Amino acid sequence: MNSGKTVFAQLMELLPVYEFHKCVERYQGDYWIKNFSCLDQFLCMAFAQLTYRESLRDIESCLRSMKSRLYHMGIRGRISRSTLADANEKRDWRIYADFAQVLIGIARSLYLDEDFGLELKETAYAFDSTTIDLCLSLFPWARFRKTKAAIKLHTLLNLRGSIPEFIHITTGRIHDVNALDLLLIEAGSFYVMDRGYLDFARLFAIHRSSAFFVTRAKKNLAAQRRYSRPVDKSTGLRSDQTIVLTGFYSCGDYPEPLRRISYYDAENDKHLVFLTNNFVLPALTIARLYKARWQVEIFFKWIKQHLRIKAFYGTSENSVKTQVWIAVSVYVLVAILKKRLQADQSLYTILQILSISQLEKEPLQSLLSHENYQMPIDTETSEQLLLFTF
């Protein structure tokens, strides 16, 4: 990459601009737009995500202070708070949702052989949701309870590389299990979920799609044991059984046998019971696969702490969804950067480095090298003068 370009410009070079314009044309995003294009909007919002800007006024002040560099950053339009607010309000959020899916497709191909701690050839996904609380008076369209508003991010996370393959944004009232109806089930893949998604009709739909699921059983599960397999109790396993459901509704929703695995987690002193339709993998692998589901919780924690998705620049539904999808695009773009540069640092470390160096003119490869941020410590041979002498 050209060392004469800013870090921000080098990072944005990773964007497939042709695909972005296709997304814009699909929803006529630049129709009758003369000065501030959808690409300008995306770059401004991406800059805000990378540098932790707090508000539209904050974005305007920072970008206007570097007016001479905007052209080289790829921003052609005039920056103003009202223009950016109108763009977030009126331009279809699906432009940025579709573009995020383009970036996800690129990242998925890069992380296809990524190791996530299990010797599993099939693709494994973790499905869960997180709730983002909002102010009811500012976001009345997202009413959650009587006195509060909220939105939910229903996320399907590929465990190889922690790449979000599917995100659906709803109001907080929508129950998690309803989002299962929106998934395009991939045959041969594993879908790992907590017991909030225990709906046997929907699980049977996954089974009929030739895919596998792993979830937790509830305590009141009505079932009859058909067969038991031997287990090594020193590994934490307690039982490995084939069962059939006996509940009036559950047996009609799922008429096929299920596999029930009981496991004792000594580290957290918990007894866990898993349900799956896979009868081939070892029982311990099923238990470890469910443990890998924790990656989706880490993903939610990461994006809430390091991206701007808890405080929003606008209050409309379109503005909120636009900001969330651009935040997801930035996350995936950093993941693409990490893989293409073969960087050893975590996404957190890379984002921290990028956040304070967006206007630096240094090659990204050099910026993310270990020599730039690891300081040798040698107290015996240090030539640092003492602050106080006695």
Strand order across the 190-192 sheet = 163-171, 149-158, 124-134, 190-192, 212-216, 270-276, 258-265, 237-245, 223-229
**Which residues in the chain land under pLDDT 50?**
1-2, 373-390
For 115, phi then psi, to 5°, come to -85, 135
Measured between alpha carbons, how far is residue 369 from residues 24, 353, 378 in Å?
Answer: 36, 11, 21
Q: 260 near 250, Cβ under 8 Å?
A: no
Per-residue pLDDT tens digits for 66-88: 877 777 777 887 788 999 999 99
Q: 155 near 178, Cβ under 8 Å?
A: no
d(CA 262, CA 268): 15
Q: Which pLDDT score, from 0 to 100, does residue 371 have?
A: 52
Q: 165 near 192, Cβ under 8 Å?
A: no
Per-residue pLDDT tens digits for 292-340: 999 999 889 888 887 878 789 999 999 999 999 999 999 999 999 999 9
Task: Write the secondary structure of 346-357 as one string of H (helix), E (strand) and C (coil).
Answer: CHHHHHHHHHCC
Q: Which pLDDT score, from 0 to 100, does residue 370 have?
A: 57
Q: Name the helix (H) or strand (E) containing 157.
A: strand 149-158
Q: Which pLDDT score, from 0 to 100, does residue 361 have?
A: 83
d(CA 179, CA 125): 14
Q: Does the domain formed by 194-286 have CATH 3.30.70?
A: no
Residue pointed to by tokens 């009126």: 90
Q: Which pLDDT score, from 0 to 100, does residue 127 have?
A: 95
> Could you state, in order of their start, the residue ranges of all structural domains in the chain?
7-95+323-370, 194-286
d(CA 315, CA 329): 20
d(CA 232, CA 137): 56
Q: Which pLDDT score, from 0 to 100, does residue 15 have?
A: 92
